[in-house]
Amino acid sequence: MNLSNKITILRIALIPVFMVFLLTGIRIHYISKYNPIIAVAIFCFAALTDTVDGYIARRRKEVTTFGILMDPIADKLLISAAILALVQLDRLSAWVAMVIISRDFAVSGLRSLAAAKNIIISATIWGKLKTIAQIVAIVATILNLPIVIFGGKIETILMFIAVVITIISGFDYFIKARDVFNKNDIDAGGE
């Protein structure tokens, strides 16, 4: 268990802490009015650990199978937790959550299929933009900023941008990985 893997585990461990501050009105003296800010701070710190653990793993040449598997899972858990919490708080439409989570499942499935064929599908620029757009949109939605641009709330516009980039990045992965599919995979059918 190297340092980068410990950081990945920390990211997963921070998810329930983030959820507690986002979803509950914790009454610790005067902290409860700051719950959204605390939730955003935890969320941003957890999101930042994704960059840190990858950097450490590459720099120390400690890329492990555990890290390759768990790092993207930790990212998807963090984003999914935030998105689902915002749906529960009635701050986000369920269809937005479904688009984002479905794309993540589809790309994860694609990566699993590729891994079974010893093919590595690396993150693309669209995947990185998707992550940044989602984080920015989630933070804006949690903070409920009273900013209106182009006739709409900033959080709505940012989430729309995040959804568009999410869809584009999903298509980008599948187009670039079309060689992963062959006739036998398609003819094998589903479950």
Give the span between the Cα atoms of 191 and 181, in whole angstroms: 17
According to the model, what pLDDT value does residue 187 have? 47
- In this structure, what are the phi and psi dihedrals at residue 125, rounded to the nearest 5 degrees? -60, -35
Q: How many Cα neighbours within 13 Å face the side chain of 12?
A: 11
Listed in sequence order, the residues at least 6 apart from 145 whose beta carbon sits closer than 8 Å to its beta carbon are: 153, 154, 155
Q: Amino acid letter at 136? A: V
Give the span between the Cα atoms of 58 and 109, in whole angstroms: 25
**Helices 3-23 & 65-88 angle (0-180, nearest 10):** 10
According to the model, what pLDDT value does residue 155 have? 92
User: Which residue stretches of the chain have pLDDT < 50?
Assistant: 183, 186-189
According to the model, what pLDDT value does residue 146 have? 79
Q: Amino acid letter at 59? A: R
125-161: per-residue pLDDT in tens? 998 899 999 999 999 999 988 788 888 888 999 999 9
Q: Structure pTM? A: 0.86
